Amino acid sequence: MIKINTDLQPSDLTNKLKRFWELSGEKIRLIENNYDVSKGSPVFTINGQYTTRGWTEWTQGFQYGSGILQYDITGDQSLLDSTRQKVVEVMAPHISHIGVHDHGFNNVSTYGNLLRLMKEGKTSFNEWEKNFYELALKISGAVQTSRWTTIKDSGFIHSFNGPHSLFVDTIRSCRALMVSHQLGHVFQAEGDQRISLLERAVQHMQSTAKYSVFYGEGRDVYDLWGRTAHECIFNVKDGNYRSPNSQQGYTGFSTWTRGLAWAMCGFAEELEWFDAKGNDYPGKETLLPVMIKAARATCDFYINHTPIDGIPYWDTGAPNLYKIGDYLNQTANPYNDFEPVDSSAAAIAAQGLLRLGNYLQKHNEAEDGKRYWQAGLTVLNTIFDEPYLSTDPNHQGLLLHSVYHHPNGWDHIPEGSKVPNGESSMWGDYHAREVALYIQRIINNDTYYTFFNI
């Protein structure tokens, strides 16, 4: 389990963050100058160079969102101008994309961050530009909520696999619905039926908490407190839950750690939204305990099933982990011969740990809150340094040792290695920047970073 550094303070990361942001800017320029955009969105690196991988265009928002986050720290106007222009040129299809569950990734990371910068006074105010960002976010939330499956006790945004499929990572797309609702939008269906975007976001959260997260209550023989299933399968004819499954993890009965991290981060940041913006939601009193339980459980599972330095292996049930030995009581080894680590899961999970820790400390649970907070800082202290921080000036990635789809064999295995290592992903790099911005603002006593400060 993670060996939590209880003495670590955000300010202790100052020098690491300075180096991180310098390297981050270099990586963004490398991609701008060398990546062939005709190939599609950059997804992950091979031998240090970003390449694409056809599935869906779910990473383009992370590419341009990274430039926006970099501007937030450095104030580099030329970077903001070029990134903003790219958002106008290429991101519109993502707003109206009816075939994916990734609107919270692509559109909140770009249009949302640009609107937030204007709201916070970090860019000049322009009424038409504000309206442009708001319209994009409104429509994105409505399109995302149209991917709706009704089940017996609730409903959910279904994945690109079809209406039977609930993905745990879609918890982070709830924010697309929440910002759309926050901007005053509603979803209109057949016969002009007006459907609350917030209510659908809530139902998706409840379904994810109920079916995707396990609580040690005997649902199956592998039921552990905080375990997550990547995918849940439903019978769309009668609305019944059928089974857990996994697309990118080892099995439906083990925990794919990046899916776990999405749940940690999604539940924690959505708790913050209800704290700040959802006081008028009539079901808040019954909803929040469900969300808090899910956030606690997933964060506890991450702490208890991750090596001492906070970097997880790609799946907690990966079949060859036993060959590494007592892997949970030593630092993670990205160069081992048996199973890869996933640093992108660490970057996502760290934000979930920090946000839940902050939330609980605000709500008079200082001891538990500090535990999660310090665990988050412990993870950051690892990923902002070698061997995870990419210092090679020719490597386009920022966060090393990320994996995409290990079961499909999509990840590059370097010569002389037996498992993928040494490569980066666009989502890993983006979320490393996002959590770096989060903690940098706390160090600087700046506005607390949230997706909904729009």
The predicted-structure confidence for 363-384, as pLDDT tens digits, reads as follows 999 999 999 999 999 999 999 9
Backbone angles phi, psi at 449, to 5 degrees: -80, 120
DSSP state of 399: B
Query: What pLDDT score was predicted for residue 279?
Result: 87
Residue 86: inside a domain: yes
Cβ atoms of 267 and 294 within 8 Å: the answer is yes
Residue 349: inside a domain: yes
Query: What pLDDT score was predicted for residue 140?
Result: 98
Residue 78: inside a domain: yes
The predicted-structure confidence for 65-80, as pLDDT tens digits, reads as follows 999 999 999 999 999 9
Query: What pLDDT score was predicted for residue 53?
Result: 82
Query: What pLDDT score was predicted for residue 52?
Result: 92
> 244 - beta bridge partners?
232
Alpha-helix runs per DSSP H in 246-316: 257-276, 284-304
Q: What is the mean pLDDT of residues 11-24?
A: 98
Q: What is the mean pLDDT of residues 108-133?
A: 98
Residue 5: inside a domain: no
Residue 288: inside a domain: yes
User: Is pLDDT at 342 greater than 90 in this prediction?
Assistant: yes
pLDDT, the chain, mean: 97
Residues flagged as binding site:
102, 258, 262
User: Is pLDDT at 56 greater than 90 in this prediction?
Assistant: no
Query: What pLDDT score was predicted for residue 40?
Result: 87
User: Is pLDDT at 54 greater than 90 in this prediction?
Assistant: no
The predicted-structure confidence for 240-288, as pLDDT tens digits, reads as follows 999 999 999 999 999 999 999 999 999 999 999 999 999 889 999 999 9
Q: What is the mean pLDDT of residues 425-449?
A: 98
User: Is pLDDT at 57 greater than 90 in this prediction?
Assistant: no
Residue 453: inside a domain: no
Per-residue burial over 87-101, b if 16 or more Cβ lie within 10 Å, else e, is beebbeebbebeebb
Sequence-distant (≥ 6) Cβ neighbours of residue 225 within 8 angstroms: 214, 215, 216, 297, 300, 301
Residue 154 sits in a domain of what CATH number?
Answer: 1.50.10.10
Sequence-distant (≥ 6) Cβ neighbours of residue 187 within 8 angstroms: 141, 142, 145, 146, 194, 195, 196, 197, 200
DSSP state of 144: H
Residue 220: inside a domain: yes
The predicted-structure confidence for 210-246, as pLDDT tens digits, reads as follows 999 999 999 999 999 999 999 999 999 999 999 999 9
pLDDT over 90, % of the chain: 97
> Alpha carbon 274 to chain centroid distance?
19
Residue 437: inside a domain: yes
Residues flagged as binding site for substrate:
102, 258, 262
The predicted-structure confidence for 192-207, as pLDDT tens digits, reads as follows 999 999 999 999 999 9
Tell me the residue range of the domain where 131 lies: 10-443
DSSP E strands: which ranges in 62-154?
Answer: 148-150
**Number of structural domains in the chain:** 1
pLDDT-derived band of residue 161, with 50, 70 and 90 as boundaries? very high
